[in-house]
Structure 1
Amino acid sequence: MSVPGPGVDEYMGTLRDEEDSLWENVESHRHLLSRSINPAKLTPYLRQCKAIDEQDEDEVLSAPMLPSKINRAGRLLDILHTKGRRGYVVFLESLEFYYPELYKLVTGKEPTRRFSTIVVEEGHEGLTHFLMNEVLKLQQQMKAKDLQRCEVLARARQLEDEKRQLALTRVELLTFQERYRKMKEERDGHSDELLKVKDDNYNLAMRYAQLSEEKNMAVIRSRDLQLEVCGLLAL
């Protein structure tokens, strides 16, 4: 078995250094990239350009230990880093297509959208197929957004109807509250009158009792006077 000579080792070391240098720009913006990119957007292009395989894609999109989009984006960067120069180039092409502002941030260059890797791999037919798929995805997304918009508008109309109904109910409630207030005032007024009548009746009863007592005293006094007169006449 032949053993690689020093020249091969030196060449491989140079390649690794170049790859690390390339990825330094990406790693320096890792926090922003992880928070900004949606891995599900990038993986179809990355797979078609053979920068990742199906297993890589499943891990990034479906692994239970990657619950958030930020976690999944970070894992995608880690996997691409292991792919060396190819991972770097294809990743930048995917950024150029889906996130041109991030592409400009990482590379300092304006996007050109040449898709060189996919053209090399599958020719212009492959690029056309990819772009057609992206157009179909956008159409489906637009349909989904239109449907969502219709649902939102329907919900808005429903809420508006409920708002009007609540306004009517509020007016009705205020009317009942006003009627209740007036009835309470009337009841309180009648209660005051009833108390006054009761007081008058009590005073009348007391006066009647007093007069009855005075009458009885007068009858007794009259009888005593009659007896006294009779006694005087008998003399």
Structure 2
Amino acid sequence: MAEESVPEGRSLKELSEEELWELINDNRHRISLGVRPCILLPYLRQVKVLTEVDEDEILSCHNLTNRCMRTSYMLDLLRTQGRNGAIALLEGLMIHYPVLYTHVTGRKPSTEPSRFSGLIKYSELTEYLIRAVTGMQTELQEARNEAGKMSTRCSSLESEVSQLMEQEEKCSHLQTENERLQRHLSSLQREVTKLKDEKCDLYIRYTASIEEKSAINGRLHDLNLQVSFCLKISLRFLDELSTEKGSASPYLFMILSCLVSLTCQAHKDILQQDLAEAIDSQVELAEHLKSYREENEKLLRDKQGVCVCLSSAIITNEEKHANSA
């Protein structure tokens, strides 16, 4: 551990060059990961352990592709400066990375002048510390401002997330309603198809009824012809009998008269019955047609209403998505 690397009662200024660099190398990986060269370079140049050329090489070399490599290369350059390089590095850590300084040395950081090695004059050290503290305060203030902005942004994002969740819930309700309307529309379409099939069957029955009526009319016409022929013969026979009353039996004349009367009445009854049946059949078919027509119109109105509801729901959903976007 770092605390075990520094004997108690000895300050860092009392350690030899090898002891200092052994302390640094034991924590080289941690330093490479935690230190930004651009933070330490101003102090290292102030104490004259690195030059401007060294700084440009550390920050601008294309072979150093990441911060860890630049920090490691800076440590290599400081190693060439011997003990001063190690002291300057540890003092830079004490100023800018106090937590890391404690991990490396096992000691608490301090900005008292007596804790520094004297690589630079007291006035220059004081001036640098003032600039460093001012810079840290500025960075702290900027960090606080950024934290405030981030907090405001987080609140705004939370509000947006809440609104999006509400819109998602509304969209879910709209989707459910849309599915329900789609099912209802499918049901109406099936009903319309069924009604069309029934209407087709009804037209077939109506056509068959018309054909049957035509056949009945033809049969009635033939029957009328036959009855008319029979009536003519019967009337002629009655006329002949009436002219020959003396030779004809009164009973025969009466029978023929009754037969003619019954034939006329039967003919009349048959015609009335057939006519009544035809009228009833037509009335029933007309009522069925009217009922199916009304049901068809109602289903069409329902279908149009469902389509309007679907269109309205889709437009509302698209507008909400557009507003949320």
TM bracket, shorter-chain basis: 0.7 to 0.9
Distance 1:210 1:89 in 2: 117
Matched residue, 1:64? 62
Among 198, 214, 217, the residue aligned to 1:216: 214
Report the Cα distance in structure 2 between the residues aligned to 1:212 and 1:166, rounded to whole angstroms.
66
Correspondence for 2:82: 84
Instruction: Give TM-score scaled by structure 2 length.
Output: 0.57
Match of residue 73 from structure 2: 75
CA distance in 2, matches of 1:149, 1:28: 35
In structure 2, the partner of 1:132 is: 130
- Show the 5 A alignment for 1:48-197: 48-100=46-98, 102-107=100-105, 109-111=106-108, 113=110, 114-117=114-117, 119-123=118-122, 125-197=123-195
- The corresponding residue for 1:23 is 21
Q: Give the structure with higher Rg (CA).
A: 2
Deviations 1:174-218 (A, max 9, x none): 453354345434434433443343233222212111122222222
What's 2:33 paired with? Answer: 35
User: Deviation of residue 38 (structure 1)?
Assistant: 1.8
* Deviation readout 1:150-197 (Å, 9 max, x if unpaired): 221231232133224323433443453354345434434433443343
Aligned partners of 1:115 and 1:127 also within 8 Å:
no
Q: How much identity, in percent, do the aligned residues show?
A: 32
Q: Name the CA distance, whole Å, in 2 between partners of 1:201 and 1:44.
A: 96
Counterparts in 2 of 1:182 and 1:219: CA distance versus 1, 3 Å: same
Which has the larger displacement, 28-37 or 222-231? Answer: 222-231
Q: Return the letter of the residue paired with 2:56.
A: D
Partner of 2:45: 47
Whole-Å separation in 2 of the counterparts to 1:187 and 1:23: 83
Greater RCO, CA 8 A, separation 6+ = 2
Tell me: CA distance 1:209–1:143, structure 2 relative to 1, closer, same or farther (3 Å): same
Residue 203 of structure 1: aligned partner: 201
Structure 2, unaligned stretches of length 5 or more? 1-15, 235-325
Residues 176 and 110 (structure 1), Cα distance of their counterparts in 2 relative to 1, 3 Å cut = closer
Instruction: Measure the CA separation in 2 of the matches of 1:59 and 1:115.
Output: 31
Deviates more, 1:96-105 or 1:46-55: 96-105
Do the aligned partners of 1:49 and 1:121 also contact (CA within 8 Å) in 2? yes
Which deviates further from its counterpart, 193-202 or 144-153?
193-202
1:100 is displaced (CA, Å) by 4.4
- Flag structure 1 segments of 5+ consecutive residues without an equivalent: 1-17
**For residues 102 and 121 of structure 1, do their structure 2 counterparts lie closer, same or farther at Cα, with a shift above 3 Å needed?**
same
SS at the partner of 1:64? coil
Return the offset for 1:228.
4.7
**Distance verdict in 2 for CA 1:199–1:155, change over 3 Å:** same
| Contact 2:59–2:70 (Cα < 8 Å) also in 1 | yes
C-alpha distance in 2 between matches for 1:39 and 1:102: 14
Return closer, same or farther for 1:177/1:104 CA change in 2, 3 Å cut-off.
closer
Partner deviation per Cα, 1:112-141 (whole Å, 9 max, x = no partner) = 644433x35312x22221211111011110
Deviates more, 1:136-145 or 1:47-56: 47-56
C-alpha distance in 2 between matches for 1:50 and 1:115: 19
Q: TM-score, normalised by structure 1?
A: 0.75
Q: Note the C-alpha offset of 1:31.
A: 2.3
